[in-house]
């Protein structure tokens, strides 16, 4: 095993950050590259006010890394309750802090680094995949074009055919590319397949860097389908989307969860169209067919009831410690 490896984790502010939490103390250099094209309620409001990249996943990631015992972390995660001011009602205070810091410094990354320093996070660097305020768009199977992340993940629409950026000139932040080039392990985390994971891989500079890297590349596959994004998808379908973006022969491993919650919790997920994905023999054959090695492991974070997120659907999360253990085994060969 490489001593103190450089690890890069790509994705959104929940799935990717849980991997970062699990790998703390193991990696010599630990970098999270997070999507910034979200237009959800709180983030969408702040993006409109500040004309900036989406701060939500960054803020949530920093708050999670700082820990629940931190008063400042609690503050940045706190959602304002101002019913008479719709533009601010429900907004996470940390999103406003990042907006103010960006306006003060004139630099989105500088704003992130200042907040990270305030929170006392010294062992993990958190980077936006881009510093350009652009939007995620999709072409649907019927040829329709939808713009902005909230519409890309909207339910009751035709399947997503392909993703693209509203601003074709938007480029990945150069430090993200440098981190990938220096990595010993690249982890593509679970999360919204199109709106968090592929929202990072839609940048050509990112996928090119991954293709040219000598690092082991691992995808942590989602545990459920996501209505509006992956309706009807199998585990193999998820893997094929990743391979389609990074190229054949680039993705080395996919981690597939085999631990499922009890019947009552499964029913709660099913009521919202969240089918829990369990590996089948057909999945394994299909995944092997695209040149990826499947690693079966009990990596889900089992709870006694379904989580509720603010105005968003949730899925079955991964356990940071269990995922980190599997990643360490992979890196050890």
Q: Closest Cα partner for 11 from 222, 325, 170, 204?
A: 222
Buried residues in 300-327 as b, exposed as e (16+ CB within 10 A)? bbeeeebeeeeeebebbbbbbebbbebb
CATH 3.40.50.10680 fits 6-35+129-332, yes or no: yes
Q: Dump the DSSP string for 283-328.
A: HHHHHHHTT-EEEEE--B---SS---BTTB----PBPHHHHHHHHH
Average per-residue pLDDT in the chain? Answer: 93
Lookup result for tokens 């103010």: 100
Range with lowest mean pLDDT among 237-241, 243-247, 261-265, 278-282: 261-265
- In this prediction, residue 175 carries a pLDDT of 98
Backbone angles phi, psi at 312, to 5 degrees: -140, 155
Residue 273 to residue 258: CA distance in whole angstroms: 20
- In this prediction, residue 306 carries a pLDDT of 59
pLDDT greater than 60 at residue 314: no
- pLDDT tens-digit map of 141-174: 999 999 999 999 999 999 999 999 999 999 999 9
Quick one: what percent of the chain has pLDDT higher than 90?
83
Paired sense of beta strands 160-165 and 136-140, if any: antiparallel
- pLDDT tens-digit map of 176-199: 999 999 999 999 999 999 999 999
- The model's pTM is 0.94
- In this prediction, residue 269 carries a pLDDT of 76
Residue 310 banded pLDDT, cuts 50, 70, 90: very low
- In this prediction, residue 275 carries a pLDDT of 85
At what angle are helices 15-23 and 56-66 packed, to 10 degrees? 30
* Domain parsing of the chain, residue ranges: 6-35+129-332, 40-126
- In this prediction, residue 40 carries a pLDDT of 82
Q: How far is CA 267 from the centre of its chain?
A: 25
pLDDT greater than 50 at residue 28: yes
- In this prediction, residue 315 carries a pLDDT of 67
- Sign of the dihedral defined by the CA atoms of residues 16, 17, 22, 28, in that order: positive
């Amino acid at each position: 095993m490489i001593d103190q490896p450089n690890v890069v984790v790509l994705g959104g502010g929940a799935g990717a950050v849980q991997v970062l939490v699990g790998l703390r103390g193991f990696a010599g250099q630990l970098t999270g590259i997070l999507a910034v094209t979200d237009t959800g309620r709180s983030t969408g409001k702040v993006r409109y006010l500040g004309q900036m990249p989406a701060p939500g996943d960054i803020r949530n990631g920093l708050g999670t890394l700082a820990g629940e015992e931190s008063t400042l972390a609690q503050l940045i995660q706190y959602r304002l309750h101002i019913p008479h001011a719709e533009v601010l009602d429900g907004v996470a205070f940390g999103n406003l802090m990042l907006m103010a810091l960006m306006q003060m410094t004139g630099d989105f990354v500088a704003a992130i680094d200042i907040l990270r320093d305030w929170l006392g996070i010294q062992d993990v660097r958190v980077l936006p995949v881009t510093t350009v305020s652009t939007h995620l768009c999709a072409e649907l199977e019927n040829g329709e074009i939808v713009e902005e992340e909230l519409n890309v993940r909207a339910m009751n629409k035709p399947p997503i055919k392909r993703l693209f950026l509203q601003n074709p000139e938007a480029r990945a932040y150069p430090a993200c590319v440098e981190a990938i080039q220096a990595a010993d392990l690249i982890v593509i985390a679970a999360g919204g397949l199109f709106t968090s994971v592929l929202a990072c891989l839609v940048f050509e500079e990112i996928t090119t860097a991954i293709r040219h890297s000598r690092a082991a590349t691992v995808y942590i596959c989602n545990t459920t389908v996501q209505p509006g994004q992956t309706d009807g998808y199998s585990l193999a379908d998820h893997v094929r989307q990743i391979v389609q973006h990074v190229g054949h022969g680039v993705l080395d491993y996919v981690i597939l969860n085999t631990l499922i919650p009890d019947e009552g919790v499964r029913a709660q997920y099913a009521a919202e169209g969240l089918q829990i994905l369990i590996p089948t023999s057909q999945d394994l054959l299909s995944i092997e067919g695209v040149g990826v090695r499947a690693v079966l492991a009990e990596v889900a974070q089992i709870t006694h009831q379904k989580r509720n997120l603010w105005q968003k659907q949730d899925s079955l999360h991964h356990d940071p410690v269990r995922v980190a253990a599997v990643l360490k085994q992979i890196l050890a060969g």
